[in-house]
Structure 1
Amino acid sequence: MRLPVPHLSVLTIVSTIIALTTATAAPATAQPASTVSAGATSINPYDIVVTDQASDQIIVLDDDAAGWTRRSQKWHWKPTAAQGFSDLTDNWGLPDEAKLRHHDGHRYLLTTDSYGLAAVVPYPSGKGSYWAADVGRADNAHSIELLPSGNVAVTASTGGWVRIYTASQGRRSDAYVQLPLAGAHGVVWDPATQLLWTLGDHEVVGLRVGGTQAEPTLTRRITHQLPSDWGHDLQLVPHRPDRLWVTTGTRVYQMSKLTGRFHSDYPGAETVDTEGIKSVTTNPHTGQILTTKTEPGNPCTWCTSTVRMHLPADSRTLPDGEIYKARWWVDYAR
């Protein structure tokens, strides 16, 4: 069920600058490791989560391991009928997003799959879902975010849209409000600006989420044109609440939310800023940057078996892996 799209009011650039300048949120701070239930390990802020399309799994791996093997897995997940996904297993096969988020005192894996599954899954149990839906097998769901309201934002690149699903209304709620965004790839909630930032083929857009939990609204607040095309990944920059990571087909930038300036002189740019980067994140504890990049010869032409670190330089390789994205297993949005 699709909710009616609200009228999109155009706000002045002056109000935008005031809103961003007066944002009071502090930079991201380190979250202590906490103990999880029996059968799972404690959350280690140096662990790495990957979307492995060879095994069709979300895998959490130990960064301390000198070399990854399949035995290095600390946790893994894919939807099964036994876990309560009997109606959605056909929408899984090319996982392309994985994030850790907290809501109402609980931890969740946020994930999407190109075959149409979008889900918020309890971690570490992996059983059932806070929310899950088939968002369109042909639309190529590409990223997901959990909002403070309990609703869920999803982007789809082929579908060319950003949606807010009313996940707060039930674990299979399929009502949504939608805005068009060509090539929509990335989405992230930003506590500093209280905006939902999204990334498409040619622009970064800051959206204001309004309305109610049952009837949300989306309004374009800020638009910044990309200096190079084919936007791909969008993430917060820990300790720099004024910036976002933005990757395109050929470059990796840090974008100023206030001015729309795309910076390429950030620490680590000499190795990070290159073509083919599919994901980029910074560890808020160490400042180390994590990237994935297309790997020639990989059976999956958009994947890699190696995750690379920068500042300091390092790498981890998953044998026979087809990794699309890799992220530090950390909640950046808290």
Structure 2
Amino acid sequence: MPSKYRPARLRSCVLAAVLALCALSTPASSADGVPAGRLVAEVPRVAVTDQAARAIVVLDPEQIRTYLAGRRRVGYWSWSADDDLSLARLSPGRSWTNPSEAKTRSLDGSQYLLTTASGGLAAVVRYPDGKVRWAANTGAGNAHSIELMPDGNVAVTSTTPGTVRLYTASQGSRSTAYTSYRLPGAHGVHWDPASQRLWALGANQLISFGITGTPASPHLVPDGAVTLPTSGGHDLAPVLTQPGRLWVTTSSKVYQYDLAKKEFVGYPDQASISRKDVKSISDEPVTRQVLTAMPEPGNPCSWCTSTLTFHSPDYTRRLDGIQLYKARWWTTQRR
């Protein structure tokens, strides 16, 4: 069994019993804005990017309460490019520096971790066996977010020099051909199945793209641009409890953008959720709880935190010893 999948880290009998008792399956009205069959939510888990441990770690509720210094990467599941010998030629020692994204998507009956690192590596990793579907050293500065397309291609945003790239990942596990669009400060990227558009977030704009051509030779066609209410666009994510909306964070605020109305709109608990420098935001479709991560003073990494911030109800959880950049609900979205 691949070393990336660590069943020993699942807390044997007691935790298994907790998971069995708490697991639930609920109909999803829609994920990503389209009917998604059933969205399985078991125990709500959280995926975090631990830049100190150079790993993506998925934690269940009990582990969120007990995560301690010196026990990094001890979670329900974890993955690191450092552990995968098949990625050696992509120089993970450099390209996997500062993991910057962790989200999950579902395609063709399989669930995947989508991840990037500021050093340039981008990867699509099957969950839970850890097999890499696609990976590349983008060679770009600060690869920041990633999206899996319905045809198997992969979109990646990088802040330096500021690009949205669409890789032909459907053509092979190490395919590096891509089409590119210049977007200053490119940070977030998200595919919306309802509108059949790829959305990308830059420093000052939210842009939509149509995709033309073929999977082997795709083209990004910008067909809409929205100026952000405040500058410093950072995170872009679907609002799972309100299909047809996107979370948008900037240097100073957290917004929701309504795709049908083509405008930024108010949302529940906005006063407590909207804060400055929110690096990631997501909502859990069953509990409807919102999770955010933002830098905190005193962390060895100035852009990181050791605190998960929950909203509705509001509370925080500290993960001692971690240098957390982003945190997201581990919620599958079908492609």
Shorter-chain TM-score bucket reads 0.7 to 0.9
**Residue type of the alignment partner of 1:87:** R
The corresponding residue for 1:31 is 39
CA distance in 2, matches of 1:222, 1:68: 45
2:156 pairs with 1:148: no
Cα gap change, 1:50/1:81 in structure 2, threshold over 3 Å: closer, same or farther? Answer: closer
Conserved 8 A contact 1:120-1:130: yes
CA distance in 1, matches of 2:43, 2:233: 27
Q: Deviations over 1:216-268 (max 9, x none)?
A: 011111111001001000000113222110000000000112333222x3112
2:260 pairs with 1:252: no
The corresponding residue for 2:3 is none
SS of equivalent residue, structure 1 residue 49: strand
**Residue type of the alignment partner of 2:147:** E
Cα gap change, 1:287/1:229 in structure 2, threshold over 3 Å: closer, same or farther? Answer: same
Cα gap change, 1:252/1:25 in structure 2, threshold over 3 Å: closer, same or farther? Answer: closer
CA distance in 1, matches of 2:305, 2:205: 26
2:98 pairs with 1:97: no
SS of equivalent residue, structure 1 residue 86: helix
The percentage of counterpart residues that share the same residue type is 47
2:335 pairs with 1:327: no
Alignment of 1:180-219 (within 5 A): 180-219=182-221
Conserved 8 A contact 1:27-1:241: no
Q: Deviations over 1:258-286 (max 9, x none)?
A: 333222x3112121101011000000111
The corresponding residue for 1:279 is 280
CA distance in 2, matches of 1:30, 1:307: 27
Q: Deviations over 1:298-333 (max 9, x none)?
A: 111111000111001122211111110000001235
CA distance in 2, matches of 1:332, 1:307: 22
Displacement of 1:288: 0.3
SS of equivalent residue, structure 2 residue 115: strand
Q: Which shifted more, 234-243 or 305-314?
A: 234-243
Cα gap change, 1:266/1:125 in structure 2, threshold over 3 Å: closer, same or farther? Answer: same
**TM-score normalised by the chain length of structure 1:** 0.85
Displacement of 1:54: 1.3
Specify which of 201, 220, 223 is matched with residue 221 of structure 1: 223
Conserved 8 A contact 1:119-1:133: yes
Conserved 8 A contact 1:234-1:247: yes
Alignment of 1:234-273 (within 5 A): 234-263=236-265, 265-273=266-274
Q: Which runs of 5+ in 2 are unaligned?
A: 1-31
CA distance in 2, matches of 1:282, 1:296: 25
CA distance in 1, matches of 2:43, 2:85: 26
2:308 pairs with 1:304: no
Displacement of 1:81: 5.9
The corresponding residue for 2:14 is none
Cα gap change, 1:332/1:318 in structure 2, threshold over 3 Å: closer, same or farther? Answer: same
Conserved 8 A contact 2:106-2:333: no
The corresponding residue for 1:48 is 46
The corresponding residue for 2:12 is none
Cα gap change, 1:258/1:222 in structure 2, threshold over 3 Å: closer, same or farther? Answer: farther
Cα gap change, 1:105/1:121 in structure 2, threshold over 3 Å: closer, same or farther? Answer: same
- Higher share in helix: 2
Q: Which runs of 5+ in 1 are unaligned?
A: 1-23, 34-43
SS of equivalent residue, structure 1 residue 327: strand
CA distance in 1, matches of 2:239, 2:176: 32
Cα gap change, 1:143/1:104 in structure 2, threshold over 3 Å: closer, same or farther? Answer: same
Displacement of 1:65: 4.4
The corresponding residue for 2:293 is 292
Displacement of 1:184: 0.4
The corresponding residue for 2:66 is 68
Displacement of 1:160: 0.6
RMSD: 1.8
CA distance in 2, matches of 1:333, 1:253: 24
Q: When the two structures are aligned, how many residues end up with a matched partner?
A: 298
